[in-house]
Structure 1
Amino acid sequence: MKQQFTVAAEDGGIRIDKYLSMCCEELSRSYLQKLLKEQEVLVNEKAVKSNYKVSPGEVVQLSLPEAVEPEIEAEEMDLDILYEDEDIILINKPKGMVVHPAAGHYSGTLVNGLMAHCRDSLSGINGVMRPGIVHRIDMDTTGVIIVCKNDMAHNSIAEQLKEHSITRKYYAVVHGVLKEDEGIINAPIGRHPVDRKKMSINEKNGREAITHYRVLERFKQFTYVECQLETGRTHQIRVHMASTGHPILGDQVYGPAKSSFRLNGQTLHAGVLGIVHPKSGAYMEFTAPLPEYFEDLLRKLRGAL
């Protein structure tokens, strides 16, 4: 696949690798530098090095190799199944498990385990890399995730997500003591303007994001909260709580780098998921108990009072 760009006047003097990263936000700078080395980038039909500085009016051509999807293999796993029927399956996802295969994670994911458990009964709408997956939770977030076994169920749950009619309650411990007992955070979320691996409050280019929070328990330096999603943006609760000055404990991306507790990632648990069943039309609600590490943390915080 070939892409072509004409350098604008304001972009003159910028290194070619930086210029391309501005034009192709979905590609990492290291990958672009690799393409430059392989002479897949031409400026006015000539190959250039990554330190080349572009000039206004120059034509930049980028050749991207065709993406080859790897073969995803089924893996037998001891999945914590909360509910299952012929249309849907709900899993209590453990900490550290990636939901679906992606670069660097082609095995050990929830999808690998589901392929072994469900065999051929997974919806195909999201392709071979994400069969059955209609939504996801972060690797270090625990709790309920729904997976669809056929396209009918997938379309139904996707529509409920789009309409914000699904009940999704998360539990978290955040830094600091929240003064209000409850509140609403309404701030659009988009890709971070500098660090492309992060999300941020983005008034200009972000998408609508609404989180309702409620204080469950206050400690000396932390607060135990319930967060209910009205929308479902990437890292929504993590970004929203950090924006209030109360980042989630253990979140090294949006909060302090160090913690006085031994934690593996953010203390965030998807505790409740409520849906209208795709076939029966009945409202069903599923609950995943707090993981042991979370319960242990709460005991420690209560003991410090």
Structure 2
Amino acid sequence: MRTEEELYVETGYKILHEDDFFLVVDKPAPLPVHAVGRFKEKNLLSLLIKDLGPSPEGLRIVNRLDSETSGLVLVAKSSQMAGKLGILFENRQVAKEYHAVVIGTPKASEGTISDSLGLNVESGHNIRASDPAGEKAQTDYQVLSSAGGYSLLKVMPRTGRTHQIRAHLSFLGHPIVGDKIYIDPRIFERYIHEGWLEEMRPVVKAERLLLHASRLEFRHPVTGELVKFTSEIPPCFDSFLNEETK
């Protein structure tokens, strides 16, 4: 098992917005949003506290992106603000938009995936499975372009379940490029222990997960103003698609 010093993360985050109540951070990948497992220091929250200094009431991550998902993260400056922002997400008052590169092309150019999600207890990891008795989940998608056996999708989750987008696109038969968990959990197991190996590429297609949180829109909990934040799709998405269509 690798030590924290041996674990690779991207640390070049960008603060896109800051006011008295919250931050909007553009997170790179891979980078956990908070301390988990061996990532005690190599995580976004620890980096923010180190760079900005501790907030009087403590910084709190509001929307928890997976380590390998890049894009917009809301960071509250108090527990009270974290609660208010969290309620907006729970009440589906936050418009969320992601972009993903998937293997293959969905038959329908747009649609909604509505499989309820439960935990695959046999996996030994936090893997989601389709479960009629599980948490209700809905994901809208739209195919933006297709070429070379891959497609760029715009994805709009209506709910916010763990691994929702990754699991739903996998159920659709079009897993996200680089998704070690939902393409082949055995590769994910090796990745945990050994890190990235080039022999994994023929199966998962890319070293990182090509999923990016690109837009958040909601009413500011204090001012009532409609605020919108966007993040450009990382260059590696276009690089992958261009390389695969040569």
TM-score by length of 2: 0.83
Asked if the contact 1:177/1:220 (under 8 Å) is kept, the reply is no
C-alpha distance in 2, partners of 1:211/1:220?
25
What is the match of residue 243 of structure 1? 171
Secondary structure of the residue aligned to 1:254 is helix
1:155-187 CA-to-partner distances (Å, cap 9, x unmatched) read: 211101110111111111111122211100011
Please, which of 90, 101, 104 is the counterpart of residue 35 of structure 2?
101
1:161-220 CA-to-partner distances (Å, cap 9, x unmatched) read: 11011111111111112221110001111211311411111212x111110000100113
Q: 1:267 to 1:156 in 2, by over 3 A?
A: same
Q: Does structure 1 residue 185 correspond to structure 2 residue 132?
A: no
Please, which of 239, 243, 246 is the counterpart of residue 300 of structure 1?
243
What is the match of residue 199 of structure 1? 128
C-alpha distance in 1, partners of 2:206/2:46?
26
Rg bigger for which structure? 1
Asked if the contact 1:140/1:264 (under 8 Å) is kept, the reply is no
Q: Does structure 1 residue 274 correspond to structure 2 residue 224?
A: no
Counting aligned pairs with the same residue, the percent is: 29
Secondary structure of the residue aligned to 1:208 is coil
TM-score by length of 1: 0.68
Alignment of 1:83-94 (within 5 A): 83-94=17-28
1:141, distance to aligned residue in structure 2 (A):
0.8
User: How many equivalent residue pairs?
Assistant: 220
Asked if the contact 1:123/1:132 (under 8 Å) is kept, the reply is no
Corresponding letter in the other structure for 2:129: S
1:34-57 CA-to-partner distances (Å, cap 9, x unmatched) read: xxxxxxxxxxxxxxxxxxxxxxxx
Structure 1: stretches of 5+ with no match in the other structure: 1-76, 125-130
Structure 2: stretches of 5+ with no match in the other structure: 1-10, 188-199
Asked if the contact 1:97/1:108 (under 8 Å) is kept, the reply is yes
C-alpha distance in 2, partners of 1:102/1:268?
21
Secondary structure of the residue aligned to 2:181 is coil
Higher relative CO (CA 8 A, sep ≥ 6), structure 1 or 2? 2
Q: 1:274 to 1:225 in 2, by over 3 A?
A: same
C-alpha distance in 2, partners of 1:224/1:100?
29
C-alpha distance in 2, partners of 1:115/1:255?
35
What is the match of residue 210 of structure 1? 138
RMSD across aligned positions (CA): 1.8
Alignment of 1:58-137 (within 5 A): 79-121=13-55, 124=58, 131-137=59-65
Q: Quick check: 247-256 or 257-266, which moved more?
A: 257-266
Please, which of 217, 233, 238 is the counterpart of residue 290 of structure 1?
233
What is the match of residue 150 of structure 2? 222
Q: 1:123 to 1:221 in 2, by over 3 A?
A: farther
C-alpha distance in 1, partners of 2:56/2:154?
31
What is the match of residue 153 of structure 1? 81
Asked if the contact 1:184/1:212 (under 8 Å) is kept, the reply is yes
C-alpha distance in 2, partners of 1:105/1:203?
34
1:62-116 CA-to-partner distances (Å, cap 9, x unmatched) read: xxxxxxxxxxxxxxx6531111111110111111111100221101110111112
C-alpha distance in 1, partners of 2:76/2:240?
33
More helix per residue: 2
